[in-house]
Amino acid sequence: MSINRLASACDFHEVKEDELIHVDCIEHTYPDGTSSLHNVCFSLFKGEIVAICGSNGAGKSTLIEHLNGLLKPSVGRLVVLQHEVTQKTGIISEVGVVFQDADSQVFAPTVIDDVMFGPLNKGLSKDEARKAALDALESIQAAHLMKRIPYFLSKGEKRLVAIAGVLAMDPKVIVADEPTSDLDPVHSRRIESVLVDLKTNYGMSVVIATHDMDLAARLADRIYVLAEGQVISEGKPSDIFYDKAILKRAGLEQPAAVRIYESISQDHSLVDAKPVKEHDLIEILSRVLQGARL
C-alpha cells in the first residue's frame, strides 16, 4: 500500500534483517544554503529494484550521493549493510554508484585501465584487478570494448563501461542515476536489460533515479516519489502509477500503458488489473479483442 508523508514529524524505524540500505529522516542542506532533502526515509531490500522518481531538482541525486557515503547526513540516520554511516565513514564500496554523467566517471586511457582503477585502488594486485575488470566487462557483454579509448566511446558504450567499473568493485548494491536519460532507445534497452540481469542472475539489489515513468514501470519493483526534497509517496508501481494526484504533485506523468488502460477502461469493463508494463497491457487487450471473459 502506498503511504503519504505529508506530516513534518518523522520517526526512526527498526532496521530489518534483509535491509541493505536504511535511511531515517535525513536532511541535507548544501553549503550555499539550498535545502535539498527533508525528512527523507528510504529502504532497499535484498533482490529488489527500487526507482526514486521525481522531476528535475527533486533531490534524487542528492539522495543517491548519500547511499554510498559520498554525502553524510547532518540530521537523520543512514545504515548501509547494517553499519551506521557517520561523518567519519569513507566511501562505501559495496554500494556502487553509476553517475548520470559517464564522462566524469570514465577517464583512464583505455577501457580496461578504467575498469581496473577501482580494484587497484582497493589494493588488489595488477593480475587480480585485471581479472576483476574482465569479469565485470564480460558479465555485461562488454569485453569487446576493453582496448578502446573511453574518449571515443558512444554515450551508451561509456555508460556500460561506467557500470563495469562499478561491478569490478564487487558491490552488493548498484545505484544508477538517470541511467538512460541521454541514450537512444536501443542503448537505453541495453542498459535496462543489464540492470535487470544484475538483479535476476547476479542477485544484486538495484536503485535507479529517474523522471522517466515508462522506464520505472518497466524496471521497478517498488517506487519512491520525491518532490521538493521530500518523499511524498512510496509503494508498488500499480498503486503509485494510478495515483494521478501524487504524480501531478511531483511533476511526473503516468506511464503510457497506464494512460492507455485508464482511457480504455472508461468505456469498457476491464478487469481491475492495473497494468503498468506495456506487455501486461497488451495481454489484457488481446484477451478483450479475443472476446475472452475477463
Start-to-end CA distance of the chain, whole Å, equals 25
**Which of Mg ion, ligand ADP, none sits in contact with 56, Cβ below 5 to 8 A by type?**
ligand ADP
- 55-84 binders of Mg ion (CB under 5 A): 60-61
Does residue 210 interact with Mg ion by CB under 5 A?
no
**String of DSSP letters for the chain:** --B---SS-----PPPTTEEEEEEEEEEE-TTS-EEEEEEEEEEETT-EEEEE--TTSSHHHHHHHHTTSS--SEEEEEETTEE--TT----TTEEEE-S-GGGT--SSSHHHHHHHHHHHTT--HHHHHHHHHHHHHHTT-GGGTTS-GGGS-HHHHHHHHHHHHHTT--SEEEEESTTTTS-HHHHHHHHHHHHHHHHTT--EEEEEES-HHHHHHH-SEEEEEETTEEEEEE-HHHHTT-HHHHHHTT----HHHHHHHHHHTTS---S----SHHHHHHHHHHHHTT---
Report the residue number, 168 or 209, with the smaller CB distance to ligand ADP.
Answer: 209
Please state the closest distance from residue 75 (CB atom) to ligand ADP, in A: 16
Closer to Mg ion by CB, 210 or 233: give it: 210
Q: Which C-beta is closer to ligand ADP: that of 114 or that of 178?
A: 178
Query: Which of these, 195, 123, 203, lies nearest to 166 by C-alpha position?
Result: 195
Q: Which segment (54-62, 88-96, 151-159, 225-233) binds Mg ion by CB under 5 A?
A: 54-62
CB of 70 to Mg ion, least distance (A): 13
Q: Which residues of this chain interact with ligand ADP, rule CB under 6 A?
A: 30, 32, 34, 36, 54, 56-62
| Residue 180 touches Mg ion, criterion: CB under 5 A | no
Q: How far is the CB of 206 from Mg ion (least distance, A)?
A: 17
Of 59 and 69, which has the nearer Cβ to ligand ADP? 59
Least spacing, CB of residue 26 vs ligand ADP, in Å: 13
188 binds, among Mg ion, ligand ADP, none (CB under 5 to 8 A by kind): none
Least distance (Å) from Mg ion to the CB of residue 58? Answer: 8
Nearer to ligand ADP, 33 or 291 (CB): 33
Task: Confirm or reject binding of residue 254 to Mg ion (CB under 5 A).
Answer: no
In this complex, which beta carbon is closest to ligand ADP, that of residue 225 or of residue 281?
Answer: 225
C-alpha cell recorded at residue 38: 527533508
Count of residues that bind Mg ion according to CB under 5 A: 2
Beta carbon of residue 210, minimum distance to Mg ion (angstroms, whole number) = 9
Q: What b/e readout covers 50-78, taking b as 16+ CB neighbours within 10 angstroms?
A: bbbbbeeebbbbbbbbbbbbebebeebbb
Q: Which residue has the cell 559495496?
A: 94
Question: Which of the listed partners (Mg ion, ligand ADP, none) does 202 bind, with a CB threshold of 5 to 8 Å by partner kind?
Answer: none
Residue 246: contacted member of Mg ion, ligand ADP, none (CB under 5 to 8 Å, by partner type): none
| Minimal distance, residue 60 CB to Mg ion, in Å | 5
Binding site for Mg ion (CB under 5 A): 60-61
